[in-house]
């Protein structure tokens, strides 16, 4: 390794040494009918194996974490078998892949829950709508989890982490960003609990820290990453005190030997990334809106250790090679982001050999 970090040079992440600092960001593609990973998904991820690390689309650790159309799960044997084919396809091409564990909490509808109400920290609906097979529908008021159910969910995350490793995946990322279940616990407008899971910043951080610790205990901290989006209002999150919320989060995930922390950087008033740099003790991945020049600048300055690319990875399976060669990028087609088949998924061309 050279002294000056290089976007196209190796970096250690947990027990892995990645050949470059380019990460494929987690992206839901809604192509897993029956919540089962399939051969088309294995092909898609295999095509992107030159990434330093692939983080899969949001994958639910439990049946009640489902939302959106056709997202994969990782709680049944059949799902584990499906993920094994994905892991094998990526490893056969020399890549590395973490599964993103995403429980959507209140961002769901009864029709994705076998008719039951979605679960959340509190019975507070998010403003917004969700796409369903029969059109857009408003989000509903969820049912507040009991403390016993919270404990069951923590174990579900641990089991999902074990399942990921059993499937041959290299690790997991806890999705603590974008207002899904852990993000709902963090946010005072979505979490109105008065027990030890709500109220103070420390209490609101407890669920995120507990699922991270449980996953780390299950498969080793060096296989567990965490994604956060401080200050991001997506999914009707309103957090007037980012410092008060995220200081206990960073404290709770620091010094434990986790594989990485991954920020969707909305540049909140309080510098959470600076706080993580001081205390976390492991690699920091930054994301959102990066091009090669900005990625190189943030790596060179030490602000980030790795950079995650989202939409450009949808349309450029060989993004690493294209960035390295300053080759033009294919433009992503937004109409095929969610759902459908191979079109807009596995048919984006690589550079001619």
Ligand X SMILES: Cc1cc2nc3c(=O)[nH]c(=O)nc-3n(C[C@H](O)[C@H](O)[C@H](O)COP(=O)(O)O)c2cc1C
Taking the least distance from each CB to ligand X, the nearer of 23 and 144 is 23
The residue written with tokens 């920020």 in the block is 263
Phi, psi of 299 (to 5 degrees): -75, -45
Taking the least distance from each CB to ligand X, the nearer of 189 and 315 is 315
Least Å distance, CB 53 to ligand X, is 13
- Told to judge if 246 belongs to the known catalytic residues of this protein, a careful annotator would answer no
Task: Name which of residues 72 to 101 contact ligand X (CB under 6 A).
Answer: 100
Q: Give the residue nearest to ligand X (CB).
A: 310
Q: How far, in Å, CA of 133 to CA of 348, rounded?
A: 26
Among 27, 36, 124, 329, contact with ligand X (rule: CB under 6 A): 27
Among 46, 52, 58, 72, contact with ligand X (rule: CB under 6 A): 58
Closest CA to 304 of 320, 315, 325, 290: 290
Task: Name which of residues 246 to 265 contact ligand X (CB under 6 A).
Answer: 264
**If binding is defined by CB under 6 A, does position 310 make contact with ligand X?**
yes
Least Å distance, CB 173 to ligand X, is 8
Taking the least distance from each CB to ligand X, the nearer of 270 and 337 is 337
Least Å distance, CB 81 to ligand X, is 22
Quote the crossing angle between the two packed helices 201-219 and 242-253, to the nearest 10°. 30
**If binding is defined by CB under 6 A, does position 232 make contact with ligand X?**
no
Task: Name which of residues 166 to 205 contact ligand X (CB under 6 A).
Answer: 175, 177-178
Q: How far, in Å, CA of 346 to CA of 225, rounded?
A: 27
Residue 97, judged by CB atoms within 10 A of its CB (0-12, 13-18, 19+), counts as buried
The CA radius of gyration of the chain, in Å to the nearest whole number, is 19
The residue written with tokens 């498969």 in the block is 219
Taking the least distance from each CB to ligand X, the nearer of 24 and 144 is 24
Catalytic residue among 180, 246, 313, 345: 180
**If binding is defined by CB under 6 A, does position 336 make contact with ligand X?**
no
Query: Is residue 58 within 8 Å of residue 175, measured between CB atoms?
Result: yes
Q: How far, in Å, CA of 79 to CA of 40, rounded?
A: 14
Please count the residues of this chain forming the interface with ligand X, following the rule CB under 6 A: 22
Taking the least distance from each CB to ligand X, the nearer of 159 and 232 is 232
Q: How far, in Å, CA of 65 to CA of 50, rounded?
A: 30
Percent of the chain that is helix, strand, coil (3-state, to 5) = 35, 15, 50
Query: Is residue 265 within 8 Å of residue 225, measured between CB atoms?
Result: no
Least Å distance, CB 322 to ligand X, is 14
Least Å distance, CB 194 to ligand X, is 30
Residues near ligand X (CB under 6 A): 25-28, 57-58, 100, 102, 175, 177-178, 227, 264, 287-290, 309-312, 337
Residues involved in catalysis:
180
């Amino acid at each position: 390794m050279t002294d000056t970090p290089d976007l196209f040079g190796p970096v250690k992440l947990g027990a892995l040494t990645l050949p470059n600092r380019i990460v494929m960001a987690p992206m839901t593609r809604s192509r897993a009918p029956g919540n089962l990973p399939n051969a088309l998904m294995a092909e898609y991820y295999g095509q992107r194996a030159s990434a330093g690390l692939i983080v899969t689309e949001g994958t639910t650790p439990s049946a009640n974490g489902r939302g959106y159309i056709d997202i994969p799960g990782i709680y049944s044997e059949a799902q584990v078998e499906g993920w094994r084919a994905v892991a094998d396809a990526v490893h056969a091409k020399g890549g590395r892949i973490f599964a993103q564990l995403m429980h959507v909490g209140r961002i769901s509808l009864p029709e994705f829950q076998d008719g039951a109400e979605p679960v959340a920290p509190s019975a507070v609906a998010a403003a917004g709508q969700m796409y369903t097979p029969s059109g857009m529908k408003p989000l509903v008021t969820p049912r507040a989890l009991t403390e016993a159910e919270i404990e069951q969910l923590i174990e579900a995350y641990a089991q999902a982490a074990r399942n990921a490793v059993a499937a041959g995946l290299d690790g997991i990322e806890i999705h603590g960003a974008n207002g899904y279940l852990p993000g709902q616990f963090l946010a005072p407008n979505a979490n109105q609990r008065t027990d030890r899971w709500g109220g103070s910043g420390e209490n609101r951080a407890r669920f995120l820290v507990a699922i991270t610790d449980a996953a780390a205990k299950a498969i080793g901290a060096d296989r567990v990453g965490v994604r956060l989006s401080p200050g991001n209002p997506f999914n009707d999150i309103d957090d007037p005190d980012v410092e008060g919320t995220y200081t206990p989060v960073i404290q709770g995930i620091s010094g434990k030997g986790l594989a990485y922390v991954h920020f969707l950087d909305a540049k909140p008033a309080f510098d959470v990334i600076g706080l993580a740099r001081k205390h976390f003790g492991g690699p920091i991945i930054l994301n959102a809106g990066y091009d090669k020049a900005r990625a190189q600048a943030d790596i060179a300055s030490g602000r980030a250790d790795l950079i995650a690319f989202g939409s450009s990875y949808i349309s450029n399976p060989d993004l690493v090679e294209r960035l390295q060669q300053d080759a033009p990028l294919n433009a992503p087609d937004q109409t095929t982001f969610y759902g459908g088949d191979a079109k807009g998924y596995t048919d984006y061309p690589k550079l001619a050999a």
